[in-house]
Structure formats: C-alpha cells, structure tokens
C-alpha cells in the first residue's frame, strides 16, 4: 500500500515536471507554494473526514505522499537540467547547472558575486553556465548581440522579482517590449534637454551646499562614500520630486532611505533567485524595512496629485510621469501601483548609481594627485576667475572632466554585473557558439570593461584613453557599457553626467583632495559589495581649500 502511494506520488512528481517544462515557472512559484500548502492540509482534512483516518495517520500518509512527490519532482528537474537541458553542453560549476541557489550561495559568501563570476570565467572560459538556464559571456562580440539597439534579447526572468503583473510594476521591471517602449516616452520627457536645463541650477545649488560642508570640515577626515550619497539623494529629491531630502545640510541620511540601504545586501543575495524575492515580498510584513521609503513615495505622489496644475510645465521627473497619467497618454504608468513603483525607481536608480560613481571619482582624485592637478589646471584655464565664474557649459567643454568620469565608470561601474537578458526563441550566435532560445544571458560589465584582451593597461586609471590616447589605446574598439546599451539603456544617463560634471568640477576647483591619515583606499578599492547597484565601504578623504577658489559659505 505504502509503495503504491510512493509510486503514485513519484509518477505525479515527474509528470508535473514534464507538464511545466514549457512554462516560465518562476511566475507561478507563489501560486505553486500556496497550492502545495493548501493541498497538504486539505489532504489531511479529507483523509480524516472522508477516509476515516486518525489525525496522525493522515498526517503521516500525506507527508509521505508529499515527500515522494517532491523528491521525484526535484530529481526529475536535476536529471533534466544535467542531461537533457538545452544548456547542458555549456561548462560551469556542477551545482550551478542544477540550481540557481548555487549563485545565491556564492553571493552570500562575501556579497561579491562579481568576483565569483570572475573566478568562474577564469576556470571555465568565456562562456559559463552560471545557473540552469543562465549563461555569462565574457566576449566583446556578445555585447551588441545582447544589448545593442537591434538586439532581439529581452528582459529576463530576473525582472520578475517585484511581481508578476506588468501593469503594476515600474518601467525597470517591465518585460513586455512594447509596453516598455511606450512607457519610456514619458520618462524621456523628464530627461529632455529642456528638462535638464531646469535641473542644472538646482543641482549646482546642491553642489554648493556640499562645498560649504567640505569647507566647514576642511582638514578633517570625511567619509565621502556617505557624503556622495547625501549629495546624490538630495539631487534626486530635488529633480525627481522637487523635494528637499536635507541630507547635505543635516549630514545624515533621510530615514526613508536608511531602510533601503540596510536591506541592500539581502536584496543583492536574494535577487540571484528572482522568484524567491518575489515570494518573500508577498509575505505580509516581510518588506517592513522598506515601509518608510514606500510610504514616503506614496505620500509624495498623493501630494503631487493634489497640487497638479495642467497649465504648468512639470519641474521634476515624477511630475512628468504624473502628467502622462493625467493626460491618459499611452506612455503613462498603467496603474497607481506602477506610478508608485516608478517613483521609487527614480530615487534608487538615480541616487545609488550616481553616488557610487561620485565616491569612486573622489577616490581616483586622491589616488592620482597628478591627474587631479591636470584637471584643476584645465578648469582654471577654462574659468580663470575661479569658482565664482563656474559655468556648466565651460565645464562641459573641458574634455578631461568627461574623460575622468568615463574612466571611473570603466573601472568602477555602478552596476558591476548589469542586467540579464533572455535570448529570443531562435537563440543567438556569439562567434562560433550558438546559445539556444529562452536562456538568460549576461555580459558582466565590470569584467568586460577591465578585460586585457580589449583594454590596454586594463587595470590602470588612464582618463586620456578616452581622448588624447584614444587611437593609440584602441578605445573605439573596446567594449564599454556602464549605462547599458540599446533599448533598455539608462534613460537617466544625461542627468547623471550633469550631476557628476557639476560635483567633480566644483570639488577640484575648490579643494585639493587627499586620503585622510590612515586611509589607503585599499578597502574602498577592493571590498565593494555587489548588490546589483554597488555598496561601497567608507572612504575617508581630506579636503584642503585651494587659495584662489572660494566656494559659497
């Protein structure tokens, strides 16, 4: 009797696996687990009420059935992934071929999955199977095929992590190609040349507050990882919501943002298995750490609804998104939930990335004093009257400012791995290798941008490679995608450039930047955490005012 039950359960387990093979099961994991629990207890209830079993007898029988079912299901999955799967011929760690939890485990070690990825590429080559249907490709030729403007690859299952309903998620998590294209138009208005022109003086005034704080603390060590964050969050509060987060003035993090930061590590680890994050966030209370941030954004949207004036040109990104909603434009966020999620993306995507890049820029200033001097000289030449003559157009025309930022984004991209894409049904071919359809592929940004095969003196900080030495160092042919590329490329990149040019030029026109006593920059350089966006260790720097450039007090 027992063996009949076991065999029935096992056959059902295997049959279930065969039945779901053509389905993107991640999307239904929540339903599957919920149905399993309901069936488990329903089974006990039925055996007691109808089958005449005692409670413990029924519990034993149902548990036995479930164990056999799940053991067969998992064995069938493992065998299939190892022996029959379309990715079976790609090399990679054994455990990765069976389960994506292996990536979670690697990430959980030190939260430096980027380093684990580097080790895997060293061991297995350019094309590595990093999950049952995940493949990481370290080849320049893959960049355009996966991310280029004509790529047929689409957002992968990774983007299902905040929910399955495309009408309720942000643009970043929108996987449907056409829906994404439509929504992008509302975003692009918030980043148009006209909009950027209205943001420029407001960003400068945030840079001025930062300058006053640096001047106030001149000669004392300052944690510039934190201050870069304060600056970037204040900028995004201003241009994202027309709201003052007041981080720069208070010198502390806005409480709504604290919650987000304290959960970044967990997010980085769990997002290796996207359905897991989706599942956990569905549990009431599990996202409590974010409640302040979610509440803040929801509240801001409510306020914006109340004060909306159809006659006025929007003054911030969220107002542009709201305008599309009010005008029932096809580009509008498709539901109130989607608009709220979009507003959260404005803050997270806009602030974390710019902050880590600014901190990295400051690190390179301190590490390479001769490059800092060159930057100061060129800016002094462009604006001989000093900081009081600061002019964005002149900063923009000082090419070395851009080169310095570009080189920083090469060596320390804000997204170390970048976003995975799903191959089209017919698959893709990278050089001689065919990668089947429905596979999640990725070119790790941090690794390809330091790959010696494409970059001369790949580990060296040489801003000149972007202009003076461009031809000599072969920069045109090297893979470079800190903002990603193509259809899903960062829509905020011009805003990021605006913030970075403004802050970098302001700092070097006013101060000489050095490491604080005891700071070598080693930890900052080596111990960044890979939490999708990067989480940086503290960086203690010291700022010495330059004689001729006085910042506002």
CB-closest chain residue to ligand HEM? 492
Tell me the Ramachandran region of residue 221: left when phi exceeds 0, alpha when psi lies from -120 to 50, beta otherwise.
beta
Angle separating helix axes 224-236 and 493-510, nearest 10 degrees: 130
Least distance (Å) between residue 483 CB and ligand HEM? 5
Q: Can you tell me the distance from the alpha carbon of 543 to that of 529, in angstroms, rounded to the nearest whole number?
A: 26
Considering only 17, 61, 168, 172, the residue that binds ligand HEM (CB under 6 A) is 172
Does 490 contact ligand HEM by CB under 6 A?
yes
Angle separating helix axes 317-326 and 291-307, nearest 10 degrees: 60
Q: Can you tell me the distance from the alpha carbon of 243 to that of 450, in angstroms, rounded to the nearest whole number?
A: 38
Considering only 422, 484, 502, 510, the residue that binds ligand HEM (CB under 6 A) is 484
Least distance (Å) between residue 288 CB and ligand HEM? 25
- Tokens representing 294? 């979610």
Part of the chain binding ligand HEM (CB under 6 A), chosen from 81-89, 320-328, 372-380, 484-492: 484-492
Beta bridge partners of 128: 136
CB closer to ligand HEM, 184 vs 546:
184
Considering only 156, 357, 372, 551, the residue that binds ligand HEM (CB under 6 A) is 357
Does 482 contact ligand HEM by CB under 6 A?
yes
Least distance (Å) between residue 336 CB and ligand HEM? 18
Q: Can you tell me the distance from the alpha carbon of 311 to that of 323, in angstroms, rounded to the nearest whole number?
A: 10
Neighbours of 71 (CB within 10 A): 14
Q: Can you tell me the distance from the alpha carbon of 59 to that of 53, in angstroms, rounded to the nearest whole number?
A: 9
Least Cα distance to 64 among 22, 114, 15, 6 occurs for 6
Residue matched to tokens 């389960």: 99
Part of the chain binding ligand HEM (CB under 6 A), chosen from 40-48, 218-226, 492-500, 511-519: 492-500
Does 492 contact ligand HEM by CB under 6 A?
yes
Site string for ligand HEM, 116-155 (x = CB under 6 A): ----------------------------------------
Total residues contacting ligand HEM by CB under 6 A comes to: 22
Does 488 contact ligand HEM by CB under 6 A?
yes
Q: Can you tell me the distance from the alpha carbon of 375 to that of 281, in angstroms, rounded to the nearest whole number?
A: 46
Considering only 414, 428, 507, 508, the residue that binds ligand HEM (CB under 6 A) is 414
Residue matched to tokens 């001025």: 208
Does 418 contact ligand HEM by CB under 6 A?
yes
- Cβ contact 135:439 at 8 Å: yes
Least Cα distance to 204 among 499, 514, 531, 484 occurs for 499
Considering only 227, 390, 483, 543, the residue that binds ligand HEM (CB under 6 A) is 483
Q: Which residues are CB-neighbours of 3 under 8 A, at least 6 positions away?
A: none
Least distance (Å) between residue 412 CB and ligand HEM? 10
Part of the chain binding ligand HEM (CB under 6 A), chosen from 54-62, 359-367, 487-495, 545-553: 487-495
Least distance (Å) between residue 8 CB and ligand HEM? 44
CB closer to ligand HEM, 76 vs 107:
107
Considering only residues 329-348, where is the footprint of ligand HEM by CB under 6 A?
345-346
Angle, CA 439 vertex, CA 129 and CA 100 arms, to 5°: 50
Considering only 171, 211, 276, 411, the residue that binds ligand HEM (CB under 6 A) is 171
Least distance (Å) between residue 118 CB and ligand HEM? 18
Q: Which residues are CB-neighbours of 89 under 8 A, at least 6 positions away?
A: none
Helix (H, G, I), strand (E, B) or coil at 519: coil
Q: Can you tell me the distance from the alpha carbon of 361 to that of 345, in angstroms, rounded to the nearest whole number?
A: 24
CB closer to ligand HEM, 259 vs 482:
482
Least distance (Å) between residue 79 CB and ligand HEM? 33
Does 353 contact ligand HEM by CB under 6 A?
yes
Part of the chain binding ligand HEM (CB under 6 A), chosen from 58-66, 221-229, 300-308, 478-486: 478-486
What's the sign of the alpha-carbon dihedral 402, 405, 411, 415? negative
The answer to whether the annotation marks 169 as part of a ligand binding site is: no
What's the sign of the alpha-carbon dihedral 520, 359, 222, 531? negative
Least distance (Å) between residue 356 CB and ligand HEM? 8
CB closer to ligand HEM, 269 vs 414:
414
Considering only 278, 333, 343, 354, the residue that binds ligand HEM (CB under 6 A) is 354
Strands (E) across 192-349 are located at 222-223
Q: Which amino acids are annotated as binding site, given as ranges?
A: 490
Q: Applying CB under 6 A, which residues contact ligand HEM? A: 171-172, 345-346, 349-350, 353-354, 357, 414-415, 418-419, 482-484, 488, 490-492, 495-496
Q: Which amino acids are annotated as binding site for heme, given as ranges?
A: 490
């Amino acid at each position: 009797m027992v063996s009949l039950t076991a065999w029935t359960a096992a056959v059902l387990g295997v049959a279930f696996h065969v039945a779901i093979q053509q389905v993107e099961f991640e999307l239904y994991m929540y339903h599957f687990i919920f149905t399993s629990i309901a069936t488990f207890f329903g089974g006990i209830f039925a055996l007691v009420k109808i089958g005449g079993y005692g409670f413990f007898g029924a519990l034993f029988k149902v548990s036995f059935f479930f164990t056999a079912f799940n053991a067969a299901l998992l064995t069938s999955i493992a065998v299939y992934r190892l022996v029959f799967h379309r990715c079976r011929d790609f090399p990679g760690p054994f455990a990765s071929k069976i389960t994506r939890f292996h990536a979670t485990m690697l990430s959980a070690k030190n939260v430096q999955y980027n380093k684990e990825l580097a080790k895997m590429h060293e061991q297995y080559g350019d094309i590595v199977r990093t999950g049952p249907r995940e493949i990481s490709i370290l080849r320049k030729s893959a960049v355009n095929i996966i991310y280029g403007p004509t790529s047929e690859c689409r957002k992968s299952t990774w983007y299902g992590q905040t929910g399955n309903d495309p009408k309720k998620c942000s643009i970043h998590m929108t996987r449907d190609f056409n829906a994404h294209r439509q929504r992008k138009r509302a975003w692009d208005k918030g980043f148009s040349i006209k909009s950027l022109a209205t943001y420029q003086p407001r960003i400068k005034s945030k840079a001025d507050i930062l300058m006053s704080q640096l001047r106030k603390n001149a000669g004392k060590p300052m944690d510039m990882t934190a201050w870069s964050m304060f600056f970037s969050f204040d900028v995004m509060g201003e241009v994202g919501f027309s709201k003052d987060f007041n981080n720069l003035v208070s010198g502390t993090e806005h409480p709504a943002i604290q919650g987000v930061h304290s959960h970044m590590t967990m997010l980085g680890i769990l997002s290796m298995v996207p359905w897991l994050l989706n599942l956990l966030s569905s549990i009431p209370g599990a996202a409590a750490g974010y409640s302040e941030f979610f509440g803040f954004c929801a509240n801001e949207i409510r306020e914006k609804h109340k004060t909306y004036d159809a006659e006025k040109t929007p003054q911030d990104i969220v107002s542009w998104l709201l305008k599309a909603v009010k005008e029932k434009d096809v580009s509008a966020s498709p539901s109130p939930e989607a608009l709220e999620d979009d507003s959260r993306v404005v803050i997270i995507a806009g602030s974390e990335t710019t902050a880590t890049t600014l901190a990295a820029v400051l690190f390179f200033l301190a590490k390479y004093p001769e490059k800092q001097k060159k930057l100061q000289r060129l800016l002094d030449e462009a604006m001989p009257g000093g900081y009081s003559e600061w002019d964005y157009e002149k900063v923009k025309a000082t090419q070395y400012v851009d080169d310095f930022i570009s080189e920083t984004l090469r060596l320390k991209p804000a997204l170390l791995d970048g976003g995975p894409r799903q191959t089209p049904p017919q698959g893709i071919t990278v050089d001689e290798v065919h990668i089947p359809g429905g596979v999640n592929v990725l070119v790790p940004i941090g690794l390809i941008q330091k790959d010696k095969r494409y970059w001369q003196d790949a580990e060296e900080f040489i801003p000149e490679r972007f202009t003076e030495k461009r031809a000599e160092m072969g920069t045109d042919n090297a893979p470079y995608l800190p903002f990603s590329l193509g259809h899903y490329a960062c829509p905020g990149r011009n805003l990021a450039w605006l913030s970075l040019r403004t802050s970098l030029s302001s700092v070097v026109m006013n101060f000489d930047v050095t490491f604080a006593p005891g700071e070598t920059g080693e930890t900052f350089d080596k111990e960044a955490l890979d939490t999708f966006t990067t989480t940086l260790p503290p960086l203690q720097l010291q700022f010495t005012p330059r004689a001729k450039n006085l910042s506002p007090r």
